[in-house]
Amino acid sequence: MAYPSVSLTPQPEHVGTQLLEVSMGPQHPSTHGVFRMDVVLDGESVVKLKPVFGYLHRNHEKIAEQETYLGSMPYTDRLDYLCSLTNNWGYALAVEKLAGIEVPERAEYLRVIVGEMTRLQNHALLVGFLMQDMGSSGTPLMYAFREREKLLDLFEALTGARMMCNYMRFGGCRVDLPAGWLEHAKKVVDDFPRFLDEYEALLAGNEILMARTQGVGVLSPELAVSAGITGPMLRASGVNYDIRKVDKYGIYDRFAFRVPLGDHGDVYDRYMIRLLEMRETVKILQQALRDLPEGPIMDPKTKVRNFRPKPGEAYGRIESPKGELGFYLVSDGSPTPYRYRVRPPSLVNLTVLEEMCLGHNVADVVVILGSVDIVLGEVDR
């Protein structure tokens, strides 16, 4: 039976519409923390969007400038609290550049192993939460959580903590692998593609997923480069820039892996890039776990107590799961950094949030924000 296409309620011509201002957040489940977007809506579509930051601001940088160099290491865990190990790595790398510290080979391998595991669990969590944001309540997220928990068990066995790992030191790592860890890690890593296959089988061709993500939140490569977007979000727009390949920090020149690139720069590409990156990460992990050499895990010349780098400055950056995580340090020769700056990928990636959301429905804002992958501990610092 065909229904008439006219509206059943009479719509007089003189009834105008008005813009509606909605404050999404700070306590909104889609904002993944305490983040607010002031959205101006015309009906359902977004005509203006202003992000409001600072709800989790505790002036991390000021606190670190009153602390010794090593004293800030546990605090970097709390920046992006899902990826504490890559935060440690970024900070350690910057201090090593500042003071000219060498890292032993085994420690470099350990860093790659834990860093790439961090990438796996971050991306797994992101794709799960993205599904949650689209309204597929529970199931995909719990599948992702199940996998993540296996990796967190490994972190706990190695560092003593699931999330606040505080594992790296200037010139190496804090502890060596416990007995049996390597075998267990190999098993978890080898099993990981099964989760990816399962996830793709469930969702890759899903009609709702495609309808909600394809063509939504498109970011052009020109704007992405200009706005300093980094990480999977940049590569989803088709710009080939991965700091692991460009800087080859640590020992990334030893591993064979590819950098997946997107075509359209929409939410679907950002979602798929994460899945593809996880497959490449598994490759890196398999090579690193296979080649892990014996040897010391700390540079014996490193001073732990009374560590005073010579006056100077250094900017060190790594490819964290969210993008370019940089640390800029200025030393004046004292035990505390004169200037300590974190270049947060989550904050800079939010620069173009408004451009991506304009014209889309308010429900799409949630999905677009979810695809940026932010953690408020890092955005607000």
Partner 1 sequence: MNPETIKSELEANIPGCVLQLVTNASPCAQHSLLMDAEHAIAVATYLRDAAGLRMDFCSNVTGIDWPQREVSEKIKVKKLVDGVETEVDEVKKTVVPGYLEAVYHLYSMELKHGPVILRMRTQDRDAGVHLPSLMHVWRSADLQEREIFDLYGIIFDGHHDLRRLLMWENFVDHPMRRDYVDPDDYEYEPTAHDEVLRRAQQHRAEGGRQ
Q: How far is the CB of 351 from partner 1 (least distance, A)?
A: 5
- Residues ≥6 apart with Cβ < 8 Å to 362: 22, 39, 41, 44, 45, 46
Concatenated DSSP letters of 283-319: HHHHHHHHH---S-SB-TT---TT--PPSEEEEEEEE
Q: How far is the CB of 114 from partner 1 (least distance, A)?
A: 24
- Strand locations in the chain, DSSP E? 20-24, 36-42, 45-52, 168-169, 172-173, 312-320, 323-331, 339-343
In the complex with partner 1, the residue whose CB is nearer, 54 or 71, is 54
Check: CB of residue 78 under 8 Å from CB of residue 308. no
Q: What is the DSSP letter of 3?
A: P
Does 339 help bind partner 1 (rule: CB under 8 A)?
yes
Does 98 help bind partner 1 (rule: CB under 8 A)?
yes
Q: How far is the CB of 318 from partner 1 (least distance, A)?
A: 12
**Gap between the Cα atoms of 373 and 288, Å rounded:** 27
Q: How far is the CB of 273 from partner 1 (least distance, A)?
A: 17
Q: How far is the CB of 362 from partner 1 (least distance, A)?
A: 22
Q: How far is the CB of 228 from partner 1 (least distance, A)?
A: 3
In the complex with partner 1, the residue whose CB is nearer, 111 or 343, is 343
What residues between 201 and 230 interact with partner 1 by CB under 8 A? 223, 225-230
Degrees to nearest 5, angle at CA 66 with 65 and 72: 70
Draw the binding track, 241-260, toward partner 1 (x: CB under 8 A; -: no contact): x----x--------------
For residue 99, how far is the Cα from the chain centroid?
27
Query: Of 20, 23, 44, 57, which one interacts with partner 1 (CB under 8 A)?
Result: 57
Scanning 59-67, 152-160, 205-213, 363-371 for contacts with partner 1 by CB under 8 A, the matching segment is 59-67
**Gap between the Cα atoms of 289 and 122, Å rounded:** 20
Does 100 help bind partner 1 (rule: CB under 8 A)?
yes
In the complex with partner 1, the residue whose CB is nearer, 187 or 339, is 339
In the complex with partner 1, the residue whose CB is nearer, 83 or 348, is 348
Does 351 help bind partner 1 (rule: CB under 8 A)?
yes
**Gap between the Cα atoms of 96 and 122, Å rounded:** 26
Q: Quick check: helix, strand or coil at residue 189?
A: helix
**Gap between the Cα atoms of 373 and 129, Å rounded:** 9
| Region label for 161, one of left (φ > 0), alpha (ψ between -120 and 50) or beta (otherwise) | beta
Does 310 help bind partner 1 (rule: CB under 8 A)?
yes
Query: Of 23, 62, 175, 304, which one interacts with partner 1 (CB under 8 A)?
Result: 62
Query: Of 215, 295, 311, 359, which one interacts with partner 1 (CB under 8 A)?
Result: 311
Strand 20-24 and strand 168-169: pairing? unpaired
Q: How many residues bind partner 1 (CB under 8 A)?
A: 44
Does 75 help bind partner 1 (rule: CB under 8 A)?
no
For the record, the structure tokens of 75 come out as 């605090």
Does 376 help bind partner 1 (rule: CB under 8 A)?
no
Interacting residues toward partner 1 by CB under 8 A: 53-54, 57, 59, 61-62, 97-100, 223, 225-230, 239, 241, 246, 309-315, 317, 324, 326, 328, 330-331, 338-339, 341, 343, 347-348, 350-352, 380-381
